Structures are given as structure tokens and as C-alpha cells.
Amino acid sequence: MQREEGACRWVSDFLHRRLADTNIATALPITMPAPTVSPTRKILIAGGGFVTPFIRYMALLTGKARPRICYLPTAVGDRADAKLNFYSWCAPLNVEPFVQDVFIESLSQTRGWDEVLLSADAILVSGGNTLNQQAIWRAQGIDVVLREAWKRGIVLGGASAGSLCWFEEGTSDSRPKALSIVQCLGFLPGSHSPHYDVEPGRRPLYHELIGSGRLKPGYACDNEAGIYFEGTEVRRVVASRDNAKVYLVSVVDGRVVERVLEPERIS
């Protein structure tokens, strides 16, 4: 037993001496993975009127010389005139426009939602019925693909239903009789109200809902005024006409406060 213990001590001492004598600089180099930079998540919205000036700005945000812009007209039921309008708005621009319908069948729609949408540089969502849009996207799994597109840095945007859809919630005319609250994708925190200057019921209802706590504070946009978000932060406020405004609506000391965010002009 004493002989075995002595042998073990000798081996231990030998290993300690070898480790102490080792020149660390001659050890094998450790290869560290290069740090990865996540793409910037980009969303561009307008209260209404997401036409040529906003599409031009959206194209610029892609960083591509000739970006592929996908139009997703779910909220208008893939209506033909909406698609024609989209192509006319893109006509003066150096972009490659295309449309993705959702009222499809597998014989002619041979690519998955991910294959189509993730191949775009930007995705422009139409206005229309937000409630129906959200239901269809969730049933089809398009909501999941759009989140992946956002994570990859594909520019997302739109006006009306195409702006409201990115927030947690907001006011919509998607149901009969009156404006009401709809729950949306939640990429952007808080609430949203589009068409703030052209539909008289929008402002008082938005104030009432936020003041009562039934709706989270958020952003209201006049037609042809909008916001560019990087991640979930406001990066730039823009408008394609004079006197179009953006507003931050919140509760301060128990009362609703509407703060004007003056936009920069785009054309």
C-alpha cells in the first residue's frame, strides 16, 4: 500500500512540474467564433397614403440598388384594383414589385409562405380589414413568417391595417357599427391609431380608451404621416405632405396627453 501511494505522489508531482514548465505561448491557439451582428429590424408605417414617397423611402431602407418589394393585400381580400394601384405607385421607382395573394390553392401556389416572403427585401401590407387580416395570417402561419422576416432585417410597412398590424393593439373599423379594439402581431409595443386627421371618431375614442386603461399608450398618425422604427424605437418621423402630424398619446398625472412629433418631409 505504501509503495502504491508513493507511486501516485510521484506521478502527481511529475505532472505538476510539466505543467509549470510549459510555455503557455506555445499552446495550441483557441479559435473564437467571430461576433455576429444581428440585422437591424425595420418597420415603416403611415396613418394612410403609403404611396410612392413612402415606397421610395422603404426602398431606400433596404440598402439595395433595386429592391424586391412584396405587396401583401390580405386585408382587402387580394382585390385586383389594390394590386394595380401598388404597381402604379412603384412605376416611377427603381424597384422590383410583386404581389403575394393569400386566397390561393396549392396547384398554382407551389412555394411556401416562407419561400416567397423571405425572398423579398421589403414587404408592404395593404390597408383594409385588420381583424380579418390577422385571422387569416394566423390560420396560414403568415404571422410567424413575418416575424422571421422582421428578424432578418427585411423592411416591413404599410398604412391603416398595414400600420396597425405591427403593434400590440389599436383601434380599427374592422367590425360592424363602430370603431373597436383589435389585437395584432405585437412586434411594436403599445397601441396605434391610423387616419387620425380624416376620420372624426378616431381622436376622441383613442383618448377615451387610453385614458381608461383599456388601450395601451401609443402613436397616432395622420394620413401621409408616419414613423420609421428600428427595433422598437422611433428612429425618424416623416410625412409626404405639409401639416401631416404624428402624435404620442399617453397618460400623465392621470390625464391623457397628446404630444406632437413633427415630421421631416419626404417626397
pLDDT tens per residue across span 79-118: 999 999 999 999 999 999 999 999 999 999 999 999 999 9
pLDDT reported for residue 32 = 53
- Among 116, 109, 55, smallest CA distance to 86 is for 55
Beta-carbon-side half-sphere exposure of residue 46 (alpha carbons within 13 Å): 26
pTM value is: 0.86
DSSP state of 132: H
Here the cell at position 213 is: 386603461
pLDDT at 14 over 60: no
For cell 428578424, name the residue.
151
CATH architecture of 39-265: 3-Layer(aba) Sandwich (3.40)
Which residues are catalytic, by number?
160, 195
Is residue 235 within 8 A of residue 264, CB to CB? The reply is no
